[in-house]
Structure 1
Amino acid sequence: MDKIKNSKILITGGAGFIGSNLADALIEDNEIVIVDDLSMGKIENLPQSTHLHFFEHSITDEEFMNRLLLNWKFDYIFLLAAVASVADTIVRPIETHEVNQNANLSILEIIRVNQLPVKKILFASSAAVYGNMPELPKREESNVDPQSPYAIDKYATERFTINYGKLYGIPTVATRFFNVYGPKQNPNSPYSGVLSLISNAIKTDGMFSVFGDGEQTRDFVYINDVIQALNLLMLSDQTLFQVYNVATSKVTSLNQVINNFEAISGKKLKVKYVSDRLGDIKNSYADISKIRSVGYKPQISILEGLRKYWDFLVDENEGNLK
């Protein structure tokens, strides 16, 4: 896989799940700066390296971000920081809007005003922008119907990122992540992926609540494939001012995931079936032909990914999960 090399890289939200895995993949060949307020990320997620420079800060601190961007003159910028809890954005729409949209817009504006020579900026959007639109699979050209302040901010910032690029000659690209999973996912996060919640319930002998009949489907993509996609989109000249689904285009039901996890772990999950949640999407999966056209090839099947994820959890807990 082609990887970014010999570059200065900024990862906002870099102590979180996706950001810290990205840092792991790139740290050997680059100087990496991470800005994270640790509201959901964890310092222990970060690689130990003299190439890593960590700042515990909110990206809403415009004065700090201005100094940082002017001092470092980054080659590549990954805008991953977000308040990722949909529920939190519903309770605190104005405060979360500051992080999820305004702070990212401010970063773009600092780059524009100072004509900083960035090679590419990537904004991490979400499949949540599609909302309850019935069309399957989800294509980048599909209609969107963002349902929450989180999804609205993701969509608006995605458009800002792409159109700032077009209007002001700033190289930009955006991704719509589907259901990403893998090591360093935080089961205590209010927006934790369903797979980390299931694995946590198995290892703690806890109860897992299934909303509905468990036949709802998702497009689960393993973190290594996401890292592959991020590198490709940054390095390819074809991806300027474009939005890309990052997924596998494979459909997996929640019940299948539970069965696979039980087989891999050798443990029985305690499951409680409860009523559907209002507004929950029944089925979702991506058309990935657009990102395939620039060389993306998802490598990790759901079974292999779950096995890798479980092995990581076992190692992390020194074998006490078995």
Structure 2
Amino acid sequence: MSKYLVTGGAGFIGSNLIEKLVADQNEVVVVDDLSMGKKENLKSIDDRKLTFYEKSITDYEFMEKLLVSENFDYIVLLGAVASVADSVENPYATHLINQEANINIYEVVRRNKLKVRKILMASSAAVYGNNPVLPKKETSSIEPLTPYAIDKFASERFAMIYGRLYNIPTVATRFFNVYGPKQNPNSPYSGVLSIIHNCLVNDKTFTVFGDGEQLRDFTYVDDVVSAVRLLLETEDVKWDVFNVGTGSTVTLNEVIKAFEKAMGKKLDVIYADERKGDIKKSYADISKITETVSYKPKYNIVSGLAAYIAKQ
């Protein structure tokens, strides 16, 4: 049994990860201010193995006391303002959460010489920007288009450099368009697939920003959880960054058709101008994580949507 800290653990990815960790008899502490996550995402999890703090990761005094007193084996940094649009509207406020709060955690570990087995920092495919060279490899050019992407890349670099300089085992993941159960369709930060699902269920109109031909690597959350655990638990993997996706692509228009087929009803769609900062084409080269920790995604868009719909 190991002890985990998961920041942002009441969110979509965090709650799915925690479900698996607790099922394997691990002890988990969650820090989440519930600005994006929902406590009900954790309600089905054995609370004998789960401790929840409704706190912001920018509460540095609280975070230091927690980290020093609990002596965690693993730290998973999922706490973030996950909205690109919000980072454009409020760049400094999101910066404090998306970068500064993570640096504080690395610094607390360094200053107190905490014996952490691994820190995993969740980054994003947004760091690659709109460079037309595809698929995106970890060595591809970094061209962030928004404050969100800048903060994600900077947090990666801090994780890697702190790790090497102070011998802290760190690793970072670049997630590609994750979807699945517990994603909140009413949140302005929500992934597009949960919004499509919600529109279909409730007979609402769905707005496509642009022509719908955006290429994406939609990744089912169970595959993401699998990748995170492999990177955390493989001891000699450290000071490196890994794409987490499926390695395949689908357009938004194709996703809409797949959803309609899976649910047996038509989606009311309108098209609007594309949004500032949105990326046109993105998908992952996952050969690095596949070769390093034998990660193999189990879900394509059809099987992933089926699993997602079944759990709603």
User: Do these two structures clear the TM 0.5 threshold for a shared fold by scoring above it?
Assistant: yes
Band the TM-score falls in, shorter-chain normalisation: over 0.9
- 2:233 corresponds to which residue? 235
SS at match of 1:132: coil
**What is the TM-score normalised by the length of structure 2?**
0.97
d(CA) in 2 for partners of 1:261, 1:26: 30
d(CA) in 2 for partners of 1:207, 1:277: 18
d(CA) in 1 for partners of 2:306, 2:18: 23
Task: State the 1:89 CA deviation.
Answer: 1.4
- Could you tell me whether the CA contact under 8 Å between 1:165 and 1:171 is conserved in 2? yes
- 2:296 corresponds to which residue? 297
- Could you tell me whether the CA contact under 8 Å between 1:79 and 1:124 is conserved in 2? yes
SS at match of 2:302: helix
Task: State the 1:277 CA deviation.
Answer: 2.9
d(CA) in 1 for partners of 2:255, 2:236: 35
- 1:309 corresponds to which residue? 308
SS at match of 2:311: helix
**2:90 aligned with 1:74, yes or no?**
no
Task: State the 1:275 CA deviation.
Answer: 2.6
Task: State the 1:212 CA deviation.
Answer: 2.4
- Could you tell me whether the CA contact under 8 Å between 1:27 and 1:49 is conserved in 2? no
Task: State the 1:35 CA deviation.
Answer: 0.2
- Could you tell me whether the CA contact under 8 Å between 1:9 and 1:74 is conserved in 2? yes
Task: State the 1:303 CA deviation.
Answer: 0.3
d(CA) in 2 for partners of 1:147, 1:217: 17
- 2:41 corresponds to which residue? 45
d(CA) in 2 for partners of 1:176, 1:220: 13
d(CA) in 2 for partners of 1:280, 1:106: 29
d(CA) in 1 for partners of 2:185, 2:203: 14
Taking the TM superposition and a 5 Å limit, the aligned residue runs for 1:95-244 are: 95-244=93-242
- 1:245 corresponds to which residue? 243
d(CA) in 1 for partners of 2:290, 2:114: 31
Letter in 1 for 2:122: A
d(CA) in 2 for partners of 1:93, 1:278: 14
- Could you tell me whether the CA contact under 8 Å between 2:146 and 2:277 is conserved in 1? no
d(CA) in 2 for partners of 1:162, 1:103: 16
**2:283 aligned with 1:285, yes or no?**
yes
**What is the TM-score normalised by the length of structure 1?**
0.94
d(CA) in 1 for partners of 2:183, 2:130: 26
d(CA) in 2 for partners of 1:234, 1:118: 11
Letter in 1 for 2:294: G
- Percentage of identical aligned residues: 60
Q: Over aligned residues, Cα RMSD in angstroms? A: 1.0
SS at match of 1:239: coil
Task: State the 1:164 CA deviation.
Answer: 0.5
Match for residue 30 of structure 1 among 15, 19, 26? 26
Task: State the 1:214 CA deviation.
Answer: 1.6
- Could you tell me whether the CA contact under 8 Å between 1:165 and 1:172 is conserved in 2? yes
- 1:320 corresponds to which residue? none
SS at match of 1:124: strand
Gaps of 5+ in 2: none
- Could you tell me whether the CA contact under 8 Å between 2:216 and 2:281 is conserved in 1? yes
Distance change >3 Å, CA 87–CA 213, structure 1 → 2: closer
d(CA) in 1 for partners of 2:88, 2:214: 23
Letter in 1 for 2:72: F
- Could you tell me whether the CA contact under 8 Å between 1:16 and 1:41 is conserved in 2? yes
Q: Which deviates more from structure 2 when the two are superposed, residues 211-220 or residues 246-255? A: 211-220
Gaps of 5+ in 1: 1-5, 314-322
- Could you tell me whether the CA contact under 8 Å between 1:181 and 1:223 is conserved in 2? yes
Task: State the 1:49 CA deviation.
Answer: 2.1
Task: State the 1:44 CA deviation.
Answer: 0.2
Task: State the 1:188 CA deviation.
Answer: 1.5
Cα shift readout 1:124-166 (whole Å, capped 9, x = no counterpart): 0000000111110000000111111111000000100011000
Runs of 4+ in 1 over 6 A off after TM superposition: none
d(CA) in 2 for partners of 1:258, 1:196: 11
Letter in 2 for 1:18: I
